[in-house]
Amino acid sequence: MIKETDIIDSDAPRNLCQMIADLQDDLSLRNDQVEFGWLLDRVSNRVYAAVLFLPALMAASPLTLIPGISFIFALITVLIILQMLVRRQRVWLPKRLRNVYFDKNKVAKALRYMEKPAVKLDRFFRPRLMFLTSPWAGQKVILLFTLILAILSGPATLVPFANLLFCIAILILAMGLLTRDGFVIIFGLIITAPPVILFFNFIHTQINGVAG
């Protein structure tokens, strides 16, 4: 049977602290391991931006210390964005990606890692410059840009710190979409410059090294 995550077709802003708290409550009922598909199904108020926020949050957390996990999160993010662009009512992921398992304690640590920042961010976030998050215009442009970042974040694992910077930029853009804060989205777009420059400088250096 194909398992997909149902999405509520809503673009109302969401509270980061509440979403993290809901995930922590659900996580406390689990045993030693949790699969990514289970986490995806339990994102609080499962809206489009929240489904993107989850892998972005995990990709910018200590979970990325697990070998190979950054590439998996990049692939998941790409698949989710492609479905968000057509506003599909259910998010499909291959069974192997849905069934990627994480140690419960590591997931709990990643969520605790975001608790204090989330409190401060919720005080700052508010709906503004909402044309940047409108479902049929601004949001699609931002998603296309985020898609490019997600694609680049995979090979960027070869460049020290570049992958982390890509993941942070994607997380900020996802938070902007989630809270419908266009100011945050503009900030997220600005901070994409350093990892992009770092990545392409690395590629340029490697090509010159081979050519030389």
Confidence of residue 70 (pLDDT cuts 50, 70, 90): confident
pLDDT in tens, 117-140: 788 888 888 888 878 777 666 778
CA distance 85 to 81: 6
- pLDDT mean across residues, the chain: 77
Confidence check: pLDDT of 51 > 70:
yes
pLDDT of the residue at 97 = 84
pLDDT score, position 48? 66
Q: How far apart (Å, rounded) are the C-alpha atoms in residues 54 and 63?
A: 12
User: What pLDDT score was predicted for residue 47?
Assistant: 62
The amino acid sitting at 180 is R
Range of the domain at 206: 4-211
Tens of pLDDT, residue by residue over 88-127, are 777 788 888 888 888 888 888 878 877 887 888 888 888 8
Q: Is residue 3 scored above 50 in pLDDT?
A: yes
Q: Are 30 and 159 in contact (CB under 8 A)?
A: no
Q: How confident is the model at residue 211 (pLDDT cuts 50, 70, 90)?
A: low
d(CA 66, CA 138): 35
* Number of Cβ atoms within 10 Å of the Cβ of 55: 29
State the pLDDT at residue 154: 74
**Could you please report the per-residue DSSP string of 194-209?**
HHHHHHHHHHHHHHHH
Beta bridge partners of 109: none
Residues β-bridged to residue 33? 103
Pick from 38, 167, 164: nearest CA to 93: 38
Q: What is the mean pLDDT of residues 3-8?
A: 58
Does the pLDDT of residue 44 top 50, yes or no? no
pLDDT of 1 strictly over 50:
no
DSSP 91: E
Kindly compute the dihedral angle of the four CA atoms of residues 116, 117, 118, 120, in this order, to the nearest 10 degrees: 90
Average pLDDT over residues 9-30: 73
How far apart, in whole angstroms, are the C-alpha atoms of residue 74 and residue 100? Answer: 13
0.75 exceeded by pTM: yes
Model confidence at 26, pLDDT cuts 50, 70, 90, reads: confident
Return the pLDDT at 135. 67
Query: What is the number of domains present in the chain?
Result: 1
Would you put residue 68 in left (φ > 0), alpha (ψ -120 to 50) or beta? left
Q: Which of 67, 171, 156 is nearest to 114 (CA)?
A: 171
- Averaged pLDDT, 187-194: 84
